[in-house]
Amino acid sequence: MSTLAHVFEAAGLATVTISSTRPVAEKMHPPRVLHGEFPLGRPLGKPSDPAFQRDVLNRAFALLAEPSGPVLVDHPEVIEADEVAMSCAIPPRFDPDLPPAVDEARGLRKAYDRALAARGATSVGRVHDADAIPAALELFGKIAEGEAWNEVGLEGGNPMPIVHDVRAYYEEAGLELVNGPPPGGRASETWFYEETEAGKTIMAARRAMKAAEAPFPVWFYMAPGHRN
Amino acid sequence: MPTGDQAMREFASGLPVPEFAETAFTPPPALAEATVAIVTSAAIHPEHEEAFAAGDTSFRVIESAERGLKLGHWSPNFDRSGFAADLNVVYPIDRLEEMRAEGAIGAVAPRHISFAGNQPDDVSTLRLDSGPAAAELLKSDGVDVVLLTPV
């Protein structure tokens, strides 16, 4: 973002940058920066909180009155990401003959469909649509049990974008099952990777791929970097 | 163990960044008369637009009325649920429309722009090609002020 700020200003556009990593903004000194120490992925701070978002914008646009730059100011509120899993019901076992993650993904389908109908868009679909999520999880289960990751038949051959689809399917369905305001930053990530059978299966597949010396980027980016 | 955000902020702080000897500075018109556009690095895009590839240095155009947006970012290292719950937490288009209705800004740009945040370290394409192209597109729409939101 700071690079684009320099490029745009040089082209004759006035910019205001919301920063999420203060040392980067300090080093790159774009002309006007409001730093928000908010959960990464939430530059306006709080979803479904128009008043807070408006406060962020008011503070950002106020920097346009500065006669010269660079200027960097901090939003006064710090919001920490929530590392505790969101409280979300997981479907009970329905078909004991299916792998747990496959059964679970099927059980979340109605919640996913409600979420899609309500929002009108989904981030599922990089490789698979919702219909294919259970089958993709079956393949990750095979990898976790020791089958070669590049021989189980992953569509496109790269697990990373398939994990994106599985995670998006789960997070969109999960948000539909949560009452009240949206959960804190990373709460749904923690729920997915630590509490769902899908997340546990993907993490087990990731560990198996690392042990089998799969290329680093292929297994590493299946989960956030701090997860083992 | 550091939290996910702590780990990512520490990592990002240590990455090489392009050097700019000076800070270019364009004086804006009064905000109440300015046309404002959003440019985000969240890799969001309309359903009908081509998805972002890994390491994609190009951008997608978002028409101002569009709300059905997909998150196409390749990094797993940030919260996605905020966007899933309310796209304004990344792309505050409804807030801009409210500000326009109140007269706080002059106009909302007809088109906005999305890049992918995980660019090659030298960002040379962004500096020399896709960044200037995005600027020209915005200027052709009469944009005065750009709000940059990172992911």
Domain map (residue ranges) of chain A: 2-74, 100-220
Distance CA A22, CA B119 (A): 18
Distance CA A22, CA B132 (A): 25
Distance CA B151, CA B148 (A): 10
Residue with tokens 């997070």, as numbered in its chain: A171
| Both structure tokens of A25 | 């903004």
Query: In chain B, what residues touch A182 (CB-CB under 8 Å)?
Result: 81-82, 85-86
Which member of A17, A47, A225 has the closest CB to residue B82?
Answer: A47
pLDDT at A226: 92
- Percent of chain B exceeding pLDDT 70 equals 99
Distance CA B63, CA B72 (A): 17
CB contact under 8 A, A57 and B115: no
Distance CA B140, CA B37 (A): 12
Question: In chain A, which ranges are E strands?
Answer: 14-19, 32-35, 71-74
pLDDT at B2: 74
Closest residue of A to B128, CA-based? A7
pLDDT grade for B16, boundaries at 50, 70 and 90? confident
CB contact under 8 A, A221 and B76: yes
For residue A32, give the 3-state DSSP assignment: strand
Taking only the tens place, the pLDDT of each residue in B92-108 is 999 999 999 999 999 99
Q: Pick the residue of A4, A126, A170 with the most B CBs within 10 A to test the interface with B by mutation.
A: A4
- pLDDT by residue for chain A (228 residues), tens only, comes to 889 999 999 999 999 999 999 999 999 999 999 999 999 999 999 999 999 999 999 999 999 999 999 999 999 999 999 889 999 988 889 999 999 999 999 999 999 999 999 999 999 999 999 999 999 999 999 999 999 999 999 999 999 999 999 999 999 999 999 988 899 999 999 999 999 999 999 999 999 999 999 999 999 999 999 998
Inform me whether the C-beta atom of residue B15 falls under 8 Å from chain A C-beta atoms.
yes
CB count in 10 Å sphere of residue B121 = 9
Output the average pLDDT for chain B. 94
| Both structure tokens of B45 | 């895009």
Strands B69-71 and B44-46 come out as antiparallel
CB contact under 8 A, A64 and B31: yes
For residue A56, give the 3-state DSSP assignment: helix
Inform me whether the C-beta atom of residue A51 falls under 8 Å from chain B C-beta atoms.
no
Distance CA A167, CA A199 (A): 8
Question: In chain B, which ranges are E strands?
Answer: 35-40, 44-46, 60-63, 69-71, 107-108, 111-114, 145-149
pLDDT at B31: 97
Q: Pick the residue of A33, A35, A40, A227 with the most B CBs within 10 A to test the interface with B by mutation.
A: A40
pLDDT at B96: 98
Q: Is the previous residue joined to A70 through a cis bond, with omega within 30 degrees of 0?
A: yes
User: Which B-chain residues 43-72 have CB contacts (< 8 A) with chain A?
Assistant: 47, 51, 54, 67-72
Question: B122 exposed, middle or buried (CB, 10 Å; 0-12, 13-18, 19+)?
Answer: exposed
| Both structure tokens of B2 | 């550091």
CB contact under 8 A, B81 and A39: no
pLDDT grade for B1, boundaries at 50, 70 and 90? low
Inform me whether the C-beta atom of residue A81 falls under 8 Å from chain B C-beta atoms.
yes
User: Which A-chain residues 142-201 have CB contacts (< 8 A) with chain B?
Assistant: 160-161, 163-164, 167-168, 171-172, 174-175, 182-183, 185-189
- Length of chain A counted residue by residue: 228
Residue with tokens 């909180």, as numbered in its chain: A49
For residue A184, give the 3-state DSSP assignment: coil
CB count in 10 Å sphere of residue A187 = 23
**Nearby residues of B100 by Cβ (< 8 Å), 6 or more positions away:** B106, B107, B108
Closest residue of A to B68, CA-based? A121
Inform me whether the C-beta atom of residue A11 falls under 8 Å from chain B C-beta atoms.
yes
pLDDT grade for B46, boundaries at 50, 70 and 90? very high
Which range among A38-47, A157-166, B57-66, B120-129 shows the weakest confidence by mean pLDDT? B120-129
Distance CA A206, CA A160 (A): 10
Query: Ramachandran region of residue B138, left (φ > 0), alpha (ψ -120 to 50) or beta?
Result: alpha
Residue with tokens 């289960």, as numbered in its chain: A141
Inform me whether the C-beta atom of residue A26 falls under 8 Å from chain B C-beta atoms.
no
| Both structure tokens of B96 | 């801009």
Distance CA B9, CA A112 (A): 32
| Both structure tokens of B66 | 């569009």
Which member of B72, B85, B104 has the closest CB to residue A47?
Answer: B85
